[in-house]
Chain A
Amino acid sequence: MKIPGLEVEFSVVPAPVPIWHARVTAQEWSAAAGLVRERGGRLLALWAGSFSDSDAIESVAAHAVTTRASAIFVAYVVLEGVFWLALPLDATDGRPEYPDLSIIFPVAARMQRAAADLSGVHAHGATDQRPWLNHGAWASDHHPLLQDPQDLPTPAPGSLVDYPFVRVEGDGVHEIAVGPVHAGIIEPGHFRFSVVGEKILRLEQRLGYTHKGIEQRMTQMAPLDAYRLAGRVSGDSTVAYAWAYCMALESATQTTIPPRAAWLRALLLERERVANHLGDLGALGNDAAFAFALAQFSRLREDWLRRSKDAFGHRLMMDCIVPGGVGRDLEPAQIAPMLRQCDAVEIEVRRLAGIFEEHAGLQDRFLTTGRVTPALASRLGLTGLAGRASSQAWDLRCDHPFVPYSELRVTMAIRQNGDVAARVAVRLDEVLESLRLIREMVTHLPSGTLCSDVRLGEPASKGAGWVEGWRGELFVALELAGAGQGHRILRCHLHDPSWQNWPVLEHAVMGNIVADFPLINKSFNLSYSGQDL
């Protein structure tokens, strides 16, 4: 497989979704970005790590940690699937650098800054070189992914560095600083608004507050146990993350999961999608001062979570997806109540959607608020449900349907307006579609075993997982050491769609009033923990 115009042969990464991998040179690295952009492709993820060709692994083992060869990786999505590129970097002259991608894909900027913090590799020529995840609580030359996890830096909690926000100046311009501790029950992050009167001129986000060192922690875990950590990257997407990780592990070990497990995984994923959309729809109504919506939708969500607990033993369905398959079966006795609930929820959602539709006050708050035009969405790489609300017609379940989606024919929800109303509409459509999918899956669940054996291979291996979670696509890249090094995880990168969408939120709020920020923010509902890692 090749990217047209680039003389690099990519090899297939075995996975249920089409993924290809190749090692490239710096020239090819830059050329590939331009070619992907020209063909309407997107940047999916960018991360740094050590280089793990089998020969490189030997050298890692042979040398001290400090001389470990580093590498930068990027994954692009084109119509055919994912191209995963690896660029080994020369670390001998102290500061490993690679060609900046943010001039071609603006979305790369924060990922490059995170890679610099975690792995000490720098994007040559990038305009924004401020630290992203390192807030000054540990030394700037302590790059965690290059260190032994046991080797803790001297913590410096008192010396949090002053972050140079971009200042907006002019007559009557003032700043509003919000966070990291927010007024609602939400995750921590800092928002710096520059406003004139009520109008937002500019928003700058500073995230990274929930950075927990997940990627370093991954390297301390056994490959067969790490699905639990993956399931805690972002609690609202625990099913999607566990699936993406397990898919990557199964890809690396060339494991095929039983059909029943594949169907149950999709059932769990669609239940997670419905649960989150129900919660968001209520919260969106509430943020427009329509408390009725919160009461109604949060009641539906609670019913939904209780049914998940009855069926799968956990309200959020954590740890139900395990390497090789699923850890929980759906008991036959659960089928009828689950079908009944789908019917009941559908009736209620349609009724509430009608009320949303006809409520003039609500529509006044939703329509044209927080608009992201399709052109801007495409330029900035807006993804997932927010992308689909701005005409970005990508949904992995439709683009590359694997079992069971290949048999279910998912209808993609799509809107053009890119405002809060469009993101509400996409959620409503997706809830109804997921209810249909759940009914289909519960009714036609194939019989058979729940789990295949996952055998860790003798040589080093790599694998990837790609899943359409409720917020958008998750990508997991996994590199495992061979038997000689105890099969340990060399690198596991977990990518959240929030990386793509947070920067777009900064654009979506421009020109809106400050009071609409919570509403616009909620309409994206992005993960802090998922991007902070």
Chain B
Amino acid sequence: MIWRIVRQIARVGIATELAPDIGEEAQAEVSRIQQELLNILGQALCIREVDAGSCNGCELEINALGNPYYNLEGLGIRFVASPRHADLLLVTGPVSRNMEVALKRTFDATPGPKLVVAVGDCACDGGIFGESYATCGRVSNVIPVDVVVGGCPPEPVAILRGILTAVRRRVR
């Protein structure tokens, strides 16, 4: 059993380095992000993800950040289970009125530097859902936002770039 697993691991190799499709440019970008993060923070970055009403498209791409190609944890970025452990909130969706209080409480529970990155078109400007009886629209209508990442949904590298931009802006 264990040999079959080991053989599969050996056969696949390290996808992060061998990734055939990511292209040299994007690969260089990932390495640069990793170095910058270390230079700026000098420690791991802890992120709490909050879906404040998204269609789950953004969650799919945020989850993709965890796959071997992006090697997120290798970059020193980690998703944590509680806002109390987080440096940064990654917020998606137009903020639904049913999530408004929960989002505010999550923000209040987050210690400094309390960075906020709004991910996806809906989080940036309400997107196709806009503002209505059921949604408050963009995330910045509810909590302060440091960086917005557009796209429907934004691709993993764009989300990574947004995270780094927020860190760079506030910590430097």
Cβ-based interface call for A58 (8 A):
no
Chain A residues whose CB sits within 8 angstroms of the CB of B10 once the complex forms? none
Q: Are the CB atoms of A299 and B69 closer together than 8 Å?
A: yes
Binds A, one of B27-35, B38-46, B90-98, B163-171: B90-98
Chain A residues whose CB sits within 8 angstroms of the CB of B5 once the complex forms? 292, 355
Cβ-based interface call for B57 (8 A):
yes
Q: Are the CB atoms of A299 and B54 closer together than 8 Å?
A: no
Contact of B102 among A184, A209, A294 (CB under 8 A): A209
Q: Are the CB atoms of B56 and A529 closer together than 8 Å?
A: yes
Bound CA span A295–B67, Å: 6
Chain A residues whose CB sits within 8 angstroms of the CB of B98 once the complex forms? 133, 135, 137, 180, 208-211
Q: Are the CB atoms of B55 and A180 closer together than 8 Å?
A: no
Contact of B12 among A152, A208, A296 (CB under 8 A): A296
- Among B50, B59, B98, B152, max chain A CB count under 10 A is at B98
CB distance from A284 to the nearest CB of B (A): 14
CB distance from B120 to the nearest CB of A (A): 9
- Among B59, B83, B97, max chain A CB count under 10 A is at B97
Chain B residues whose CB sits within 8 angstroms of the CB of A232 once the complex forms? 55, 57, 127-129, 152
Bound CA span A147–B9, Å: 58
Q: Are the CB atoms of B21 and A235 closer together than 8 Å?
A: no
Chain A residues whose CB sits within 8 angstroms of the CB of B54 once the complex forms? 187, 210, 235, 529
Q: Are the CB atoms of A213 and B135 closer together than 8 Å?
A: yes
Chain B residues whose CB sits within 8 angstroms of the CB of A305 once the complex forms? 64
Cβ-based interface call for B15 (8 A):
yes
A315 touching B61 in the complex, CB below 8 Å, given contacts A214-B129, A306-B21, A351-B8: yes
Chain B residues whose CB sits within 8 angstroms of the CB of A157 once the complex forms? 97, 100-101
Q: Are the CB atoms of B8 and A296 closer together than 8 Å?
A: yes
Q: Mark A141-180, 1 if CB is under 8 A from B, else 0.
A: 0101001010011010110100000000000000000001
- Among A209, A351, A352, A354, max chain B CB count under 10 A is at A209
Cβ-based interface call for B99 (8 A):
yes
Q: Are the CB atoms of B100 and A137 closer together than 8 Å?
A: yes
Which of B47-78 touch A at CB < 8 Å?
49-64, 66-69
Cβ-based interface call for A463 (8 A):
no
Q: Are the CB atoms of A212 and B1 closer together than 8 Å?
A: no
Size band of the interface chain A makes with B: 35 or more
Smallest CB gap from A275: residue in B: B60
CB distance from A178 to the nearest CB of B (A): 11
Q: Are the CB atoms of B96 and A298 closer together than 8 Å?
A: no
Q: Are the CB atoms of B63 and A279 closer together than 8 Å?
A: yes
Q: Are the CB atoms of B57 and A316 closer together than 8 Å?
A: yes
CB distance from A533 to the nearest CB of B (A): 9
CB distance from A389 to the nearest CB of B (A): 22
Which of B110-159 touch A at CB < 8 Å?
127-130, 132-136, 152-153, 155
Bound CA span A214–B129, Å: 7
Q: Are the CB atoms of B134 and A238 closer together than 8 Å?
A: no
Q: Mark B1-39, 1 if CB is under 8 A from A, else 0.
A: 100110011001001000001000000000000000000
Cβ-based interface call for A79 (8 A):
no
Q: Are the CB atoms of A315 and B155 closer together than 8 Å?
A: yes
Chain A residues whose CB sits within 8 angstroms of the CB of B64 once the complex forms? 298, 301-302, 305
Cβ-based interface call for A515 (8 A):
no
Smallest CB gap from A216: residue in B: B132
Which of A210-232 touch B at CB < 8 Å?
210-214, 216-217, 228-229, 232
Smallest CB gap from B21: residue in A: A306
Chain B residues whose CB sits within 8 angstroms of the CB of A144 once the complex forms? 132-134
Q: Are the CB atoms of A209 and B56 closer together than 8 Å?
A: no
Bound CA span A1–B126, Å: 45
Smallest CB gap from A361: residue in B: B1
A279 touching B60 in the complex, CB below 8 Å, given contacts A212-B135, A214-B129, A302-B67: yes
Smallest CB gap from A286: residue in B: B66
Contact of A213 among B52, B58, B129 (CB under 8 A): B129
Cβ-based interface call for A185 (8 A):
yes
Chain B residues whose CB sits within 8 angstroms of the CB of A10 once the complex forms? none
- Among B52, B64, B133, B134, max chain A CB count under 10 A is at B134
Chain B residues whose CB sits within 8 angstroms of the CB of A210 once the complex forms? 51, 53-55, 93, 96, 98-99
Bound CA span A296–B132, Å: 42
Bound CA span A209–B93, Å: 11
CB distance from B36 to the nearest CB of A (A): 23
Chain B residues whose CB sits within 8 angstroms of the CB of A318 once the complex forms? 57, 152
Bound CA span A307–B57, Å: 18
Cβ-based interface call for A324 (8 A):
no
Bound CA span A359–B8, Å: 14
Bound CA span A181–B129, Å: 21
Chain A residues whose CB sits within 8 angstroms of the CB of B15 once the complex forms? 299
Contact of A217 among B1, B106, B130, B155 (CB under 8 A): B130
Smallest CB gap from B11: residue in A: A351
- Among B21, B62, B94, B99, max chain A CB count under 10 A is at B99
Q: Are the CB atoms of B69 and A302 closer together than 8 Å?
A: yes
Cβ-based interface call for A333 (8 A):
no
Q: Are the CB atoms of B102 and A147 closer together than 8 Å?
A: no
A228 touching B128 in the complex, CB below 8 Å, given contacts A144-B134, A183-B82, A186-B51: yes
**A→B interface (CB under 8 Å):** 133, 135, 137-138, 142, 144, 147, 149, 152-153, 155, 157-158, 160, 180-181, 183-188, 208-214, 216-217, 228-229, 232-236, 238, 279, 292, 294-296, 298-299, 301-303, 305-306, 315-316, 318, 351-352, 354-355, 358-360, 527-529, 532
Cβ contacts A to B, 26 pairs, < 8 Å: A138-B134, A152-B133, A155-B97, A180-B99, A184-B79, A185-B62, A186-B59, A188-B52, A208-B98, A210-B51, A210-B54, A212-B53, A212-B94, A217-B132, A232-B55, A232-B57, A234-B55, A234-B56, A236-B60, A292-B8, A295-B68, A298-B67, A299-B12, A302-B64, A355-B4, A529-B54
Extra inter-chain contacts (9) besides given A238-B55, A315-B61, A359-B1, CB under 8 Å? A188-B52, A210-B93, A211-B96, A294-B66, A352-B8, A355-B8, A527-B56, A529-B55, A532-B96
